[in-house]
Structures are given as structure tokens and as C-alpha cells.
Structure 1
């Protein structure tokens, strides 16, 4: 079974579409764990109204947990502790899956038992090459690769639950790029692959750094990337030359993001 973890904060306008995309899955062996992270809007009321439309069998597959506002990492960690499946899938409350998302990934995982963690593309992406990486249908992603570019949008990933025994949980003290930090830790010791197919729509299909939400704080994102670089250097995932190259590449991306957002505003 796949345990699907959905953190929600002020998600009244989007979370039902996320849930409907789960219920439309052709792969049906799953449970949903929703963690309301102290929403100040009517997220819980919207959820309860949606629950009233479900059959008893479908309602039994959902667990709603309410907590005060601790942040997305704490919410995900609560979901991880409650998960009963052998596999974990992450889904953000403003993202949606195409209906074959889980079926396609579980098929790949069953056919490739060496894979511990499997991400996918989003919003029509298809990768041919990136720096020294040539992409196949399945491509191994290293922790160093993730420092250059996060190939694993959070809502695309599926991974073995027993990874938690070795890696642990999300760092609740890191405010930005905490998902990439977690994925770097996993990729450093486990077999992580990208399925080169677009299976997810994130942030209503827009670019992933917007004028609202966590990703709108471009400098916060940049500091998060620097935190991840420093972690990788400390853990000897990269050396000082790698650090120099990744540092400069990161700031090129940062200035490009700033330009894109300013261009959109204009």
C-alpha cells in the first residue's frame, strides 16, 4: 500500500482538486493522511464537506490530523509517523496527479527492485540532458545532481517507508529547500531515480517560484540552497571544487529567478 501524505495550510481553494486527483488514480491500493497545519481559513470545513460526499469505503481510506501551525516539515513528519503503507508518496495541497501517476511509478518500482526512491517530471517536462547527465526513461540521480537542480518536485516522489529507519525525518528547523535537503540525504545512501515522464501538475501548472507562498521568497530559497551546499560539503558529498562550481551555478539561477519574477510583474 502507498501512504499519501498531504500537508495543508490555508488550502481551502485547492485541496479538493488534489484529493480528486488521488481518487481518480488507476492504482487504488492507497491511504491518504492529511495534516491540517493550523489553517486560518476554512480548509477543515471544506474537507469535511467533501468527506460527506464519499462512500464509507473511500472515507475509511482518509485520515485527517489537525495541529497548530508548526510548518510543512513538521506536518510531513507527523504524516510519516502515521503512515501504514510500505511506500510513501508526497502530495502538496495545491498540486494534482494525472490519473495514471501511481500506477506508472509502482509499475517501474516493481520492475526495478533496486530503486528505493522514484521521482517524476511535472507540468509537461521532459529531460534530454543536463550538464553531464544524459536522460533515459529511468535515470539515476545523485546527491550532487540535486545540488545543481532539484529533479524531484515534492509531489512527484514515491519512496520505500523503511528509508525512515536509516534517514529519519524532514529537518523541521530548515525553512526553505527542506525537501531537497531530505532528498539529498536519501540519495547519498539509497538508489534514487527519475522517471522521465510528466505525471504531476504543480502550483496550478505555473513556474514553481511564484509571487505568493513560500517559493515567492527568492532570497529565502537561495539561503536554503546554500544550507544544502554547506551540508553536502560537511558530509563530504562534495569537495571544495564542487562547492565553488555549485555555488556560482546557484547564484546564476537565483538572478534568473529574480529577473523572471520582475518580468512577470511588468
Structure 2
């Protein structure tokens, strides 16, 4: 079993070295087939930093793609299209894996070969779905993901064959695009969560209302609504649960606005 690591990069000159170091320092590094860094039209020094990193780490299987800016989904897709690993491991250019992340997921999959997708905890936080705390390996349902979007993208690994069967990230969707893709996976495959810390995201900054795409709370709200509309259109969600989610998402949106203003 081996992994293709996909790292979309945009203006990450201050973080990309630590991100790559976190891959290099994996205890199961020998299972990493390739590290695909996709420069998505950065306007800072990110591209040159990665080129220099490759020179000083010429034993690492880093593949560098340089493309015009198209957004994070476009960058992930570019990396996924050329990937050769049996499993895809996603990582963002301002995040860092804990050193045993791949080893933990590898051992979990080997013990549970029905797993198609596996996520984990991040930033020292536990997973709760409404009032239910996830304490053990957990098989998630589409309803679970509607109530609580998880895991964070850089904690996710999934089988490469899934791409061939359901396609790629929606490059037209700018917000909650990872949630959209993960919901598709959960609909048709065995989607599991392991409640073990695996990644530190964005230097520990708040998960919303701070920077990056998640700073646009309205966009995130509209993206999440679009995701459940797609599910309802395909009759995956009942009408009653869909209507409940519309109220639930609106309430969460208002709550996040209030929290962001109080920070």
C-alpha cells in the first residue's frame, strides 16, 4: 500500500517548507510514493522556495507542477490526475502532519480493509457530531457529514480508484468544495473517522472567520447549502431532513457571525 501526497500551493512562502518537512519526517515515509506540489499561480516566492527545497532534498520524490491560478480544487485535481499511488493523501500548504499520521492510517486500514476513506482529528480537537463524541473508529453516514463537516482536508486519505469512479473536485465551487467531494465519497463508499490527532492546520488559527476561504462566512454558508441541495436533488436526503438542515445551517451561520465579531 502506498500514498500519493497532493499539496496545492498558493502564496505559501512562509509555510510550505514546514509542510514539506512534515511529510519528510513521517515514520512511514517509505510508503509515500510521490509528493505532488501544485503551484497554483503564486505571486510570492513559493515556487522558488520549493525548487530550492527539491535541490537540497534530491532524494525526495517531489513532483512540482506550475500552473496558472485556478483555485484550490483546480490545483488538487491537477495533482490527482497524475497521481500513481494506491491511496491519495491530501495536505494543504499551510498545514503540518504529525510525524506518525500516515503510519496510524496505514495500520488502521490494514486492520480494517473495508475502509475506503479515513480521516482523523486536528488541532487538538475531538470530533463531536451534535452531542455525540466520537471515541473509536467510526463509520460515518451522509447525515453525520451534513450535521458536522469532517475531517479537515489534510487529515483525509482515500483510495485512488475513487477518482476514476466519481471524478474530481468541482472546480466551479469555491466554498465548501471539500465537503461536497467528501459527501460524494460518503454516499457510495465506506467512510471512516479515527479519533486520533493527525494534523495541525493553519498554525492553529480559528477554523472560521480568520483567513483564507473560510473567512468568507457567507460563501461557506452558501456552499454548504449547495451541497445539501445536490443531495436532495439526487434523493439522498429526505425532504424533512433537508428542511431541518436549512434551518440548522442558517442558525450556525448567524452564530459564527456573532462569534467572529466578538473576537
Q: Please classify the TM superposition score into its range, dividing by the shorter chain length.
A: over 0.9
Please show how residues 136-215 of structure 1 align to structure 2 within 5 Å: 136-215=135-214
Give the SS at the match of 1:57: coil
Query: C-alpha separation between the residues in 1 aligned to 2:10 and 2:36?
Result: 14
Match of 2:122 in 1: 122
Q: Is the 8 A contact 1:125 1:197 kept in 2?
A: no
> Corresponding residue for 1:86?
86
Q: CA deviation at 1:134?
A: 5.5
Q: Distance in 2 between matches of 1:5 and 1:70?
A: 16
Q: Deviations over 1:212-233 (max 9, x none)?
A: 2111111000110110010111
**CA drift at 1:201:** 0.5
Aligned to 2:59: 57
Aligned twin of 1:16: 17
Distance 1:139 1:248 in 2: 27
Which of 46, 50, 60 is the matching residue for 1:47?
Answer: 50
Aligned partners of 2:39 and 2:47 also within 8 Å: yes
Aligned length, in residue pairs? 260
Q: Which runs of 4+ in 1 moved over 2 A?
A: 129-136
State the match for 2:6 in structure 1.
Answer: 5
Equivalent position of 2:98 in the other structure: 98
| 2:112 aligned with 1:109 | no
Q: Does 1:72 align with 2:79?
A: no
Whole-angstrom CA distance in 1 between matches of 2:146 and 2:173? 16
Separation (CA, whole Å) in 1 of partners of 2:241 and 2:81:
35
**Uncovered stretches (5+) of structure 2, i.e. residues with no partner:** none
1:144 and 1:237 in contact (8 A); partners too: no
1: distance between equivalents of 2:85 and 2:138?
25
Aligned CA RMSD, in angstroms, stands at: 1.2
Residue in structure 2 matched with residue 249 of structure 1 by the alignment:
248
Output the TM-score relative to the length of structure 1. 0.94
Q: Deviations over 1:146-173 (max 9, x none)?
A: 1111111100001100111211110111
Tell me how far 1:49 sits from its aligned partner: 2.1
Q: Verify the 8 A CA contact 2:129 2:147 in the aligned structure 1.
A: no
Give the gaps of 5 or more residues in structure 1.
Answer: none
Residues 168 and 21 from structure 1, CA distance in 2 versus in 1: closer, same or farther, beyond 3 angstroms? Answer: same
Secondary structure in 2 aligned to 1:52? helix
Moved more, 109-118 or 139-148: 139-148
Per-residue Cα deviation, 1:28-59 (whole angstroms, up to 9, x for no partner): 121100000000111111112222221x322x
SS in 2 for 1:69: coil
Shift of the alpha carbon at 1:133?
4.5
Query: Relative to 1, partners in 2 of residues 1:182 and 1:219: Cα closer, same or farther, differing over 3 Å?
Result: same
CA distance in 2, matches of 1:75, 1:113: 29
Moved more, 205-214 or 222-231: 205-214
Deviations 1:197-248 (A, max 9, x none): 1111111112211432111111000110110010111111111110111111
